[in-house]
Structure 1
């Protein structure tokens, strides 16, 4: 522990450490108990019988799931790129020196942040008669882009004020100050929140099934509704859920890798 950390926080003593270990052990026991109960209920209701899993060995069902997964990833890729672009544009607008631009950008960002994403998707799909994929992408872009605009703005403001003032003192224009000084330093503060929001966008692609977009969850629902045994949704969820969790963990892992790479390059630079 560093001297600064010791100065700010009391180092836990033997009793506190023992208490923390006890709390940790109790939490693990409770978690293990919950997991054991869930596994017992799954076995008790016959969710692991061969009858309920044979369907996933059929090529048609595998192709349906893969097609749904591909559609999910395509919608997410479009939504992620457009959300980042939307956020960058309106963050720049909110940081503008022109009052009208700043006011209009604030109005747009606050409006779409306040609107439920499902309402936007339905409005674009039904009222504007946009096809399902692009209605989903548009709704995700408007909502997540508005949140990212605030993340980008907060990231730029997180850079110490003296950095910008020093750049202006050297004769740099505002665009140069933003491009070469504030944004590169603000990225470190932005990155965790940006990735978290992209994870939200990835999970929200599942809303596409409500407008009949054939994404991963929609494919799972089609499979479950055609299975003729009790509780057909449970095996489907047990197949789909780990894939969603894996994609979100991969995205978070990518963020950590980029962050560590940025730290190493800043040290060597």
Structure 2
């Protein structure tokens, strides 16, 4: 056994580390074997042919398919991020209201939208908008999918953000609210000026992670005919009979964007921790030399 035990278990000894290494090597060999089998099958079916991949990454594919699809994806996701934040702030504030009936009503709304799957919400909104709002002439029929995606992403992720804000405020020390009350602030002023800004700062990495979820969930819009990156990739693949290749390129674009957002979240979390984590080392006291008094030698 190790001489430095952990919190829940002792650190692994030489034999345990050797067993872990052997298991990792076996798992790696298994993954490589599966990857080799998949590549062999793809090669047998002609999916690794150079012309299939070249047609999926040429200039025409980017200018006519990937970039327009990426534009609609980022546009819908960006609008959904803003509206979801507004939704989350409003209902997060209501869930912290001093009146039980307001908290209860806001809780029902938040829990309902958190429980309904995003895709189901998009389908419902799409058919509702197409049959009622679009037929009445308020929006164009072809825009029904666009608005259904944005509203669906807004209500689901807004409900999640509302819970993040509520839990962030509840995690603050009680002294924050007591100090605000001591200087004459009402409960609403304390939430708006003191507590919610601190909760947003503390929950910023989680909020950015939720923004990544919004970006990924926007791809569900292709199920209702919304032309975003995934739909454009499928359309390109249907024209050149290389759907696998175009979907791989689309997936790589999604991975790159999500990786960038994740790095931004990690960077912001590090900046916030460095700003809020001050030097906690004890201050060395300074001893002053005694002042000689008159008549004392």
Normalising by structure 1, report the TM-score: 0.85
8 Å Cα contact 1:195/1:252 also seen in 2:
yes
Q: Deviations over 1:59-87 (max 9, x none)?
A: 44322221011100101101111111111
Q: Which runs of 5+ in 1 are unaligned?
A: none
Match of 1:154 among 164, 167, 190: 167
Aligned-residue offset at 1:241: 0.9
Aligned-residue offset at 1:89: 0.9
- Is 1:96 the counterpart of 2:97? The answer is yes
Match of 1:164 among 164, 177, 198: 177
The within-5 A match list for 1:132-211 is 132-169=145-182, 171-179=184-192, 181-187=194-200, 189-211=202-224
Change (3 A) 1:265 1:25: same
8 Å Cα contact 1:158/1:189 also seen in 2:
no
Aligned-residue offset at 1:222: 1.0
Q: Which residue of 1 aligns with 2:259?
A: 249
Q: Which residue of 2 aligns with 1:52?
A: 52
- Number of residue pairs matched? 262
- Is 1:126 the counterpart of 2:127? The answer is yes
- Is 1:66 the counterpart of 2:67? The answer is yes
Change (3 A) 1:247 1:58: closer
Aligned-residue offset at 1:161: 3.3
Counting helix residues as a fraction of each chain, which structure ranks higher?
1
1: CA distance between counterparts of 2:181 and 2:34? 58
Change (3 A) 1:60 1:186: same
8 Å Cα contact 1:220/1:236 also seen in 2:
yes
8 Å Cα contact 1:217/1:240 also seen in 2:
yes
Q: Which moved more, 1:233-242 or 1:125-134?
A: 125-134
- Is 1:116 the counterpart of 2:129? The answer is no
Task: State the structure with more CA Rg.
Answer: 2
Change (3 A) 1:99 1:235: same
Change (3 A) 1:178 1:8: farther
1: CA distance between counterparts of 2:39 and 2:193? 54
Normalising by structure 2, report the TM-score: 0.78
RMSD over aligned CA atoms reads: 2.6
